[in-house]
Amino acid sequence: MRHIALRMAAAALALLVVTGPAMAADEPITIYTDNYAADEAMSRVARDLIEQHFDTPVELKPVSVGVSFVGTARDERSMFLAAWLPATHGEYMARVEDDVVNLGTIYTGAKLGWVVPDYVPADQLGSIEDLKKPQVAERLNGRIQGISAGAGLMQLSNKAVEEYALDDYRLITASGPAMTAALKRAIENEEWIVVTGWSPHWKWERFDLRYLDDPKGTLGGAEHVDAIASPALVESEPEITDFIRRMTFELDQINPMLAEAERTSYDEAAETFIKEHPDLIESWLEGE
C-alpha cells in the first residue's frame, strides 16, 4: 500500500515543486506539514522564530505524509518536522534517507494505539484482547472509531483487527476531527468507546484517557519524531538548520499547546508558546 502512496506522492509533488539551480538565500524556506496537530503547531513555532530571528521568510505547505518526505528530498529549501520513526513513517524515510539530512529528534515518547476513556473499567476492558469478549463488543456496538483511511495508524489498526481476530468489529473511517467529536460525545454520555489515538494530542489534556494494552505489539511502541531537511538547505542555511537541531520539546509542553490550538488556532497557540517559554526559546536560538 505504501509504495503506491509514495508513487502518488511523487506525482502530486510534481505540481508543487520545480527543481533546478539553488535558490537565492532570500527565497522562502518551505516547511511541509502533514495536517496532524503536533506537526501543525510545532511548524508554526519554527516558522515564527525563523522569520523573527533569522530574517528569512517561511512558507508552510500542507500536504500528505508521503509528499512531505518526497518534497523535502527534492525541494532545495525545505524541511519536514514530523518524521515518526522508526516504525510509523519508516517506509517513507527508507525511500528518501539518502536524499535528506536528519536534523535529530524533536521529541520522544510519541505513541500510537487504541484509546478508551478512563471510566471504562480496566478489569473489563484493559487490553485489545478484551475486545473479543461478547459483552464488551455489545457495549461498543461493534465499533472502533478510526481516522482517515490513508493514515499509518489506520493501516496498523486494520492489521490489529486481523491479528486479534476482531471479527465482530468495524473499524470506522473518518477524519481526525470526527474521531475527537465521537470521543467527546461518548464522554459526555459516559458511553463506552474505543478510538484510534496517538500522543501528543490535545485530547490528553482535555479528557481522562488511557491506551489499551497491545500484547501483540501490532500498533507499535514508543517512537521518536525527527526533523529532516534537504541537503542544500543544510549547506545554504547552517544557522537555521542548527537552530532546528536544538529545537526539542517535552510531551508535557506539547499537549497544552495543542489544547490551546484547539480552543483558538495553531497560530495563536504557537505565539503563546513562544511568549511563555523564553528560556527554552533562548536555548534553541543560542545553544548551550
Instruction: Read off the CATH number of the domain in which 200 is found.
Output: 3.40.190.100
Please provide residue 85's backbone torsions phi and psi, each rounded to the nearest 5 degrees: -130, 155
CA–CA gap between residue 196 and residue 213 (Å, rounded):
13
Let me know if residue 262 belongs to a domain.
yes
One domain, residues 237 and 104: yes
- Using an 8 Å Cβ cutoff, are 156 and 112 in contact? yes
C-alpha pair distances (Å), 254 with each of 18, 52, 212, 225: 34, 21, 22, 13
Domain that holds residue 37: 2-109+222-286
Q: What is the DSSP letter of 119?
A: T
One domain, residues 24 and 95: yes
Burial of 165 per CB tally in 10 Å (0-12, 13-18, 19+) = exposed
pLDDT at 7: 53
Let me know if residue 216 belongs to a domain.
no
**Domain count across the chain:** 2
One domain, residues 93 and 8: yes
Burial of 21 per CB tally in 10 Å (0-12, 13-18, 19+) = exposed
**Could you give the count of Cα atoms lying within 13 Å of 112 in the half-sphere of its Cβ?**
24
Let me know if residue 159 belongs to a domain.
yes
One domain, residues 61 and 200: no
H/E element, 175 = none
| pTM greater than 0.85 | no
Quick one: CA dihedral 114, 251, 65, 37, positive or negative?
positive
One domain, residues 118 and 193: yes
Strand pairing partners for 84?
225
Query: Among residues 260, 92, 182, which one has the least CA distance to residue 82?
Result: 92
**Last residue of one domain, picked from the residues 186, 211, 236:** 211
CA–CA gap between residue 76 and residue 20 (Å, rounded):
8
Let me know if residue 140 belongs to a domain.
yes
- pLDDT per residue of the chain (288 residues) written in tens, 0 to 9: 455 455 555 555 544 544 443 444 579 999 999 888 899 999 999 999 999 999 999 999 999 888 999 999 999 999 999 999 998 888 899 999 999 999 999 999 999 999 999 999 999 999 999 999 999 999 999 999 999 887 778 989 999 999 999 999 999 999 888 999 999 999 999 999 999 999 999 999 999 999 999 999 999 888 999 999 999 999 999 999 999 999 999 999 999 999 999 999 999 999 999 999 999 999 999 976
**Last residue of one domain, picked from the residues 153, 188, 211:** 211
Cell numbers describing residue 214: 497491545
- Using an 8 Å Cβ cutoff, are 242 and 46 in contact? no
One domain, residues 59 and 115: no
**Last residue of one domain, picked from the residues 211, 245, 264:** 211
Let me know if residue 281 belongs to a domain.
yes
CA–CA gap between residue 35 and residue 58 (Å, rounded):
17
Let me know if residue 80 belongs to a domain.
yes
